[in-house]
């Protein structure tokens, strides 16, 4: 029937039983094959030891009794009713996250800061315990035995919990198996959805930070790893059951082996097993993608391991790479020697040589001119930002966005009846005081006269101050230029508070560029300060040429321009302010007064004040550049706050391989220096 084992599955089970001495064969060939298998296992032993060190497994016993008890109280998580609740909560949380997406992204920089690592690691570990408990409870719901659970330490640092629910393969239908595989993510995503509401409703503090860490660890990390079908975690088993291809990873590896033998070694008689040939497109795609992903993961693990023990982890990486290279070559040449009758050496070497050349040649011929990549933003140093000083209702708007205005031209008029009445009352008080002072003088009361003169002087001072204050209700262009006010049509009748931006007048001359340089690129930028700058702005075709004019003396964590912050949709990650006030003020001053002359600014914007509580995740250097050639763009087309990326031009050219070798050598030297400094 359909439940019967296929031919290839039966062969696999028999082969496994023979290899583990559960069956004994009288056939000499089978005995030789088994001896060869044990010999190969001994050869792989050093590599397995290294893998066991990097993926240290710590069993914590048999959880079956505990999970049976837990299933009585938590089994409802696998019920249809709870699934409907789960869907509703996730939809609501997704909607709330879409509304609050910008502040969530703004806080993302703080989630990966070293200060938050321990907190995030503890949160991650607790979530993984709940994740595995979800697997175990649902497994027991379907009467699946769970004989073991424990912890894996990835590169000695990251704890990854596990439960052995592999017995779920005995379930007759795929949907219960999918439920067991998805249970951990199912529970984690529900917790993340609840945490979304907690994060939104709480003020900054311990609970708010905890909720954010839960969202980050239970959603982002889960999607990247547990839900990823290219790794043998939950997503893999779900995909395997969904497309009904058992042992997908093993079949993908066998497909790659067949592909290599047939097309690289020229073994035309190599036959693809029937169970793989039937679904070879899906299996082949999975095999190639999973192989690429394994390389990416190993590079990441090696990078993380190299940073362990203050740089001494580079030794572990060295032996791991050497072991992998030696093992690969031994297996390859062993295969060549054992396949002499099936292999045509000349054809194989020709194809292998062509493949190696195709991989190596780009590294030898492709030229690269490495250049620091900088965030760039358009700014007008002499812009005039007019902000409200005296609050009031907008009575008249006498210009439109994009209009050209002259210096002194009236643009907007506000009205404030209360302040106007106060000014009129002061005028009346002054007249009364003048009359009273003359009366005292005529009557010869010198002391009263002098006292009234002091009162009159005070009233006139208050009147002058009030006149100046009320005078700010009229906004006149402080310079000639172009009006920039995107929402000017909404101003009439609106009540404006002190600090609200009304209009910005941008000069018609060419704008400048402000560049934000990463800390690692500061030395390169200073060495190449005479090189040109090439800029690509978002939404603008072509490139813009510029020239560096000034580089600040030191890096700062202050945000150089509002448009560059992640809160405004920019490329620079922010965190809650932790540095000294003076450093933050310096960054805001650069945005307000970027040149010695300074921009003409009136009042203070509440958005600026809110931003004063945030800073860059890492220090960055600020540089300024003058645009030489706008490649056909008019100055007025490039608006204040438009941003993009800039690179230096005219640098030294390298071959791709030479540049990569230099980068790797520099990194290795840095790690050895760290280890040496710790040792000394």
Domain count along the chain:
5
> Residue 143 has which token pair?
């009467």
Task: Please tell me the distance from the alpha carbon of residue 513 to that of residue 548, in angstroms, as a whole number.
Answer: 9
* Closest among 255, 236, 234, 256 to 246, alpha carbons compared: 236
| Residues 136 and 232 placed together within one structural domain of the fold | yes
Structure tokens at 41: 């296992």
Give, for 476, the enclosing helix (H) or strand (E). Answer: strand 474-476
- Domain assignment of residue 662, yes or no: no
* Rounded distance between C-alpha atoms, residue 622 and residue 551, angstroms: 6
- The owner of tokens 């906004």 is 475
What is the DSSP secondary structure assignment for residue 144, as one 8-state letter? -
CA–CA separation, 680 vs 203, rounded Å?
46
Q: State residue 484's pLDDT score.
A: 82
Q: How far apart are CA 585 and CA 596, in angstroms?
A: 16
What are the Cα distances from residue 189, in Å, to 23, 110, 126?
46, 22, 14
**3-state SS string for 479-535:** CCEEEECCCHHHCCCCEECCCCEEEEEECCCCCEEEEEEEHHHHHHHHHCCCCEEEE
Domain that holds residue 390: 384-496
Taking residue 246's Cβ as centre, other Cβ atoms within 10 Å add up to 14
How far is 132 from 137, CA to CA, in rounded Å? 9
pLDDT at 83: 93
Pair (538, 426) in one structural domain? no
Whole-angstrom distance, CA of residue 175 vs CA of residue 441: 104
Does a structural domain hold residue 675? Answer: no
**What is the 8-class DSSP label of residue 643?**
E
Mark whether 428 and 487 lie in a shared domain: yes
* Beta-ladder partners of 574: 616
Handedness of CA 470, 474, 475, 478 (dihedral sign): negative
Residue ranges in the chain modelled with pLDDT below 50 = 2, 25-46, 579-607, 610, 632, 635-636
The predicted structure's pLDDT at residue 601: 36
| Cα–Cα distance list, 168 to 146, 225, 244, 652 (Å) | 9, 21, 15, 59
Residue 4 lies in a domain: yes
Nearest-angstrom CA–CA distance, 538 and 643: 6
Q: Are residues 645 and 545 in the same domain?
A: yes
pLDDT of residue 38: 44
300: its two tokens = 């990441």
pLDDT value, residue 462: 92
One domain for residues 432 and 544: no
Same domain, 324 and 191: no
Question: Do the Cβ atoms of 267 and 345 come closer than 8 Å?
Answer: no
Domain identity same for 363 and 234? no
Task: Give dist(CA 523, CA 531) in Å, integer.
Answer: 14
* CA separation, residue 588 to residues 485, 579, 643 (Å): 21, 14, 18
User: How remote is the C-alpha of 60 from its chain's centroid?
Assistant: 35
Task: Note the pLDDT of residue 508.
Answer: 79
Lookup: tokens for 288: 């190639």
Query: Could you identify the residue written with the tokens 């219960």?
Result: 176
Q: What is the DSSP letter of 142?
A: T
Q: Please state, as a whole number, how many other Cβ atoms lie within 10 Å of the Cβ of residue 604.
A: 17
Q: Of 557, 610, 549, whose CA–CA distance to 587 is shortest?
A: 557
CA distances from 545 to 31, 185, 367, 508, 594 (A): 74, 49, 22, 19, 21
Residues 484 and 513 in one domain: no
Answer yes or no: is 670 within a domain.
Answer: no
Residues 438, 322 share a domain: no
Residue 565 lies in a domain: yes
Residue 210 sits in the same domain as residue 102: yes
Written as six digits, the tokens of 132 are 């595995």
Backbone angles phi, psi at 369, to 5 degrees: -120, 80
pLDDT tens digits, 96-113: 988 888 777 766 655 555
With respect to residue 482, please indicate whether it lies within any of the assigned structural domains.
yes
Domain assignment present for residue 502? The answer is no
> pTM higher than 0.85, yes or no?
no
Identify the pLDDT of residue 319: 72
Q: What tokens appear for 193 in the block? A: 């959805």
How many other CB atoms sit within 10 Å of the CB of residue 89?
Answer: 17
- In terms of domains, do 141 and 228 share one? yes
257-291 pLDDT, tens digit each: 888 888 877 777 778 888 888 888 999 999 999 99
- In sequence order, the 6+-apart residues with CB closer than 8 A to the CB of 600 are 382, 383, 384, 385, 478, 479
Cβ pair 525, 621 in contact under 8 A = yes
Claim to verify: residue 90 and residue 231 sit in the same structural domain: yes
Residue 673 domain flag? no
Tell me which residue of 524, 535, 478, 519 sits closest to 621, measured CA to CA.
519
For the chain, helix (H) and strand (E) counts, in that order, are 20, 22
> Which of 619, 622, 621, 623 is CA-nearest to residue 557?
619
- The partner residues of 160 in beta bridges, in order of sequence, read 152
In this structure, the number of other CB atoms found within 10 A of the CB of residue 378 comes to 23
Contact yes or no for 163/63 (Cβ under 8 A): yes
């Amino acid at each position: 029937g359909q439940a019967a084992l296929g031919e290839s599955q039966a062969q696999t089970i028999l082969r496994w039983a023979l290899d583990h001495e559960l069956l004994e064969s009288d056939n000499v060939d089978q005995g030789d094959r088994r001896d060869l298998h044990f010999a190969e296992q001994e050869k792989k032993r050093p590599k397995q030891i290294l893998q066991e060190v990097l993926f240290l497994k710590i069993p914590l016993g048999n959880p079956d009794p505990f999970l049976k008890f837990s299933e009585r109280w938590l089994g409802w998580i696998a019920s249809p009713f709870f699934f409907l609740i789960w869907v509703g909560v996730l939809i609501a949380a997704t909607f709330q996250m879409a509304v609050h997406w910008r502040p969530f992204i703004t806080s993302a920089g703080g989630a990966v800061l070293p200060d938050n690592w321990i907190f995030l690691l503890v949160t991650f570990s607790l979530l993984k315990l709940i994740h595995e408990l979800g697997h175990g409870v649902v497994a027991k719901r379907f009467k699946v035995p769970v004989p073991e659970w424990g912890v894996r330490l990835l590169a000695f640092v990251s704890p990854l919990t596990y439960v052995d629910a592999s017995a779920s393969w005995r379930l007759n239908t795929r949907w219960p198996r999918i439920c067991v595989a998805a249970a951990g993510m199912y529970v984690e995503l529900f917790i993340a959805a609840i945490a979304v509401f907690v994060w939104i409703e709480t003020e900054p503090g311990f609970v708010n930070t905890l909720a954010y860490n839960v969202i980050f660890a239970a959603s982002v990390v889960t999607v990247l790893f547990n839900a990823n079908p290219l790794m043998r975690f939950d997503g893999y088993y779900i995909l395997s059951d969904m497309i009904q291809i058992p042992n997908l990873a093993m079949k993908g590896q066998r497909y790659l082996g067949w592909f290599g033998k047939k097309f690289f070694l020229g073994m035309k008689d190599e036959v693809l097993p029937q169970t793989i040939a039937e679904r070879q497109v899906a299996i082949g795609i999975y095999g190639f993608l999973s192989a690429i992903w394994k390389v990416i993961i190993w590079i990441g693990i090696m990078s993380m391991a190299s940073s362990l023990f203050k740089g001494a982890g580079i030794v572990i990486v060295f032996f791991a790479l050497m072991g992998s290279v030696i093992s690969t070559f031994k297996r390859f040449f062993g295969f060549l020697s054992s396949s002499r009758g099936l292999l045509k050496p000349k054809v194989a070497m020709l194809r292998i040589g062509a493949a190696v050349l195709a991989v190596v040649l780009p590294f030898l011929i492709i030229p690269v001119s490495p250049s620091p990549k900088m965030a760039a933003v358009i700014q007008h140093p002499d812009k005039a930002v007019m902000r409200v000083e005296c609050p009031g209702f907008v009575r008249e708007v006498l210009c439109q966005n994009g209009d050209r205005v002259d210096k002194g031209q009236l643009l907007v008029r506000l009205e404030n009846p209360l302040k106007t009445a106060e000014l009129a009352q002061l005028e009346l008080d002054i007249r009364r005081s003048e009359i009273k002072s003359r009366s005292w003088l005529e009557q010869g009361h010198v002391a009263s006269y002098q006292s009234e003169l002091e009162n009159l002087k005070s009233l006139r001072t208050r009147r002058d101050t009030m006149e100046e204050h009320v005078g700010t209700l009229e906004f006149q262009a402080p310079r000639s230029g172009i009006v920039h006010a995107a929402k000017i049509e909404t101003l009439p009748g609106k009540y404006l508070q002190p600090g609200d931006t009304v209009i910005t007048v941008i000069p018609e001359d060419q704008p400048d560029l402000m560049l934000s340089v990463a800390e690692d690129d500061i030395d390169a930028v200073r060495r190449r300060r005479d090189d040109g700058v090439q800029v690509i702005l978002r939404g603008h075709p072509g490139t813009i040429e510029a020239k560096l004019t000034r580089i600040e003396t030191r890096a700062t964590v202050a945000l150089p321009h509002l448009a560059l912050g992640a809160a405004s949709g920019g490329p620079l990650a922010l965190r809650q302010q932790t540095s000294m006030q003076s450093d933050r003020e310096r960054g805001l001053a650069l945005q307000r007064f970027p040149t010695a002359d300074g921009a003409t600014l009136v009042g203070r914007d509440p958005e600026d004040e809110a931003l004063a509580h945030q800073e860059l995740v890492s220090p960055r250097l600020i540089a300024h550049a003058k645009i030489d050639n706008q490649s056909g763009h008019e100055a007025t087309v490039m608006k204040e706050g438009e941003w993009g990326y800039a690179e230096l031009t005219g640098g030294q050219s390298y071959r791709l391989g030479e540049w990569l070798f230099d980068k790797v050598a520099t990194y290795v030297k840095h790690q050895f220096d760290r280890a040496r400094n710790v040792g000394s």
